[in-house]
Amino acid sequence: MKDEGQFRLDDRVVAVVGAASGIGEAVARACARQGAHVVAIDVNNAGVALTASRISDAGGSAEWHVADIVDGESVEALFAKLAATHGRLDGAVSTPSINVRKTLLNYSEEEFERVLRVNLKGNFNVLRAAGRVMTALGRGSIVLFSSIRSQVVEPGQGIYAATKAGILQMARAAAAEFGPSGVRVNAVAPGVTETPLTAPIKSNPAWYGAYAAKTVFNRWASADEMAGPTVFLLSDAASYVTGTLLVVDGGWLAVDGRFQPPGM
């Protein structure tokens, strides 16, 4: 007997912010394959239009909008418009982040503010706008993207890690605040994933290999491998899951060293 109904998103409206590329694009396309009407949102006009076009060409349902998540008023207006147009908003996913890889002593105030502005303020704007709509409707699921860097850190990742820990705590607080209105909020923590954000280090063979070796699979994740866990959190299969961090890291956090003693 097969029952895939709990994981389906048929007839639901799901907004995916950051849908022009990387994890956001993969999530948008996966939601469409599960039957959702996808609202693809990004600051990249051409990229988000292409994502929506690819979904439509594959037989899915999508529309696209341009928005900058650091502009709170425009984000609020867009989500209010979506609710008015569709009469519902069942899911919202926010993936955008930026990173400046520098040690703390070499960070400038401008760099610090730029990373916080996108990663914390931007994701807060999406969380607030989606939460306002969903709590009024009495249902919905919001997924923010944190990182394994919310749990562990390395030199040059301090500010990025701080924002990812902040995103996790915002998700937990929102889960507590929105839960009585029937809205779930969770965070996904990817490990090392091949995206435009990680392209600069992917091109360095030594760096790429060192990160791959931190996983039990000895490889990086693809953006598509973040889509399934996200769809799960949006679906009825996760109806009792809220306020949690779903780690998708190929075992990075579970394994303390890779030395295998002789004879083992």
Q: Write down the domain spans for the chain.
A: 5-247
Distance (Å, whole) CA 251 – CA 158: 22
144, 185 Cβ separation under 8 angstroms: yes
In angstroms and rounded to an integer, the radius of gyration of the C-alpha atoms of the chain is: 18
Of how many residues is the chain composed? Answer: 264
State the residue for tokens 């503010």: 113
Active-site residue flag, 160: yes
- Cβ 41 vs Cβ 48: under 8 Å: yes
- C-alpha torsion angle, residues 187, 229, 46, 37 (rounded to 10): -100
The tokens describing 36, both together, are 């959702």
Digit-coded pLDDT (tens) for 101-113:
999 999 999 999 9
Which tokens belong to 184?
A: 């779930």
Alpha helices in 152-240 (DSSP H): 158-178, 199-202, 205-213, 227-234
Pull the structure tokens for residue 106: 């070499």
- Rounded to two decimals, the pTM is 0.94
CATH number 3.40.50.720 given to 5-247: yes
Of the candidates 107, 160, 208, 211, the residue annotated as catalytic is 160
Strands 193-194 and 183-190: unpaired
Give, for 25, the enclosing helix (H) or strand (E).
helix 22-33
Q: What is the pLDDT of residues 17-72, one digit of tens each?
A: 999 999 999 999 999 999 999 999 999 999 999 999 999 999 999 999 999 999 99
Average pLDDT of the chain is 95
